[in-house]
Amino acid sequence: MKKWLIAALVVGAIAFFGGYKMGRTQPALSKIPSKSSPAEVKGVFNTDYYPTAHELIKSARKSVHLIMFSVKYYEGKHQTDTLLMELRKAGERGADVRVVIEGGDEDFLGSAFKKEAQQVAKFLETGGHVDVRFDPRWRTTHAKLLIVDGKRVLVGSTNWTTQAFTSNNESNALITGDVSDFERYFEKVWKESHEPEEDTVIVRPSVSQILKNPEKYDGRIVEVEGLVSDLKLKTSKSGRKYATFKLSDNYGRTLKVYYGKGHPAIANNDRVLVKGIYRKVKRVGRYQYKNQIDASKVEKL
């Protein structure tokens, strides 16, 4: 056999077996670390939440983004008040401080819950360095999320109440590293939420104005005049009386109305004034109700 052929075979064998060995020793693609920085996670339990949150907010230089289900202001007497004051101080330092609070619903969470949320919003916005919004009225915001400087996240079960800080079993995680997913989530919730004063400002559109621009009125308190049709007076299995009907304008355009405070003294073809929260789409379990006013008042005109 010619020398050049032998040399070629030897080189080919070395290349084959060398490549085979390299292939066997290379890690699988699924095990190669991603380019994003690994996150450090630390458990924060029970009474450790308050000092952890306090340190985070005090250290903030660029931003503090908070979503919280239940927040209570105790007029400067408890730890929650200290955190609320630290939020204001962070805003005064020039940090972007934005807070989303569950605004409450008198029919679901009660009037006391709603009043507490309004007190917290008023306290935080004093001085003009903190922006506060209430969550969408069609959704309960049960999250408890604190993001500081886009680098650290405290997330878990703890509400900002004295009982949660001092007495409850609570479980949270402090995450340091790439927390961009949480920031994106915060921005989504923030965009959907509304200014606290919108919970007290009543708008008076017509049925046709609402149907023409439902996004404008979605979640707002409205007063709408119209004619009653398809009135149904009902009683639930638990004995609670409620009513449903259609509210029509002079052109036959209709909105649905749900009234959960008994049987109103009205009849079909009556002209009424309905006050309540309009929802473009309301979801209750697997059911959807479109263009409905959840009425707190129905008055015959």
Residues 145/66, Cβ–Cβ less than 8 Å: yes
Residues 26-43, mean pLDDT to the nearest whole number: 58
Is 26's pLDDT higher than 50? no
| Percent helix, percent strand, percent coil in the chain, to nearest 5 | 35, 35, 35
Gap between the Cα atoms of 207 and 272, Å rounded = 12
CA torsion sign, 291 to 292 to 293 to 294? Answer: negative
Token pair in block for residue 105: 């619903």
Task: Tell me 29's DSSP state.
Answer: G
Fold classified for 40-197: Endonuclease; Chain A (3.30.870)
Gap between the Cα atoms of 95 and 87, Å rounded = 9
Gap between the Cα atoms of 75 and 248, Å rounded = 47
Is 153's pLDDT higher than 90? yes
- One-letter identity of residue 239: G
- Which pLDDT score, from 0 to 100, does residue 215 have? 85
pTM: 0.64
- Quick one: pLDDT band at residue 200, thresholds 50, 70, 90? low
Mean pLDDT of the chain: 86
Helix 111-125, helix 79-92: angle, nearest 10: 40
Fold classified for 201-300: OB fold (Dihydrolipoamide Acetyltransferase, E2P) (2.40.50)
Residues 90/62, Cβ–Cβ less than 8 Å: no
CA torsion sign, 256 to 261 to 263 to 269? Answer: negative
Q: Map residue 230 onto helix, strand or coil.
A: strand
CA torsion sign, 105 to 110 to 116 to 119? Answer: positive
Gap between the Cα atoms of 46 and 49, Å rounded = 6
Task: Return residue ranges of the chain for CATH 3.30.870.10.
Answer: 40-197
Residues 207-217, mean pLDDT to the nearest whole number: 92
Residue with structure tokens 């007076």? 233
- Quick one: pLDDT band at residue 31, thresholds 50, 70, 90? very low
- Which pLDDT score, from 0 to 100, does residue 20 have? 37
Is 2's pLDDT higher than 60? no
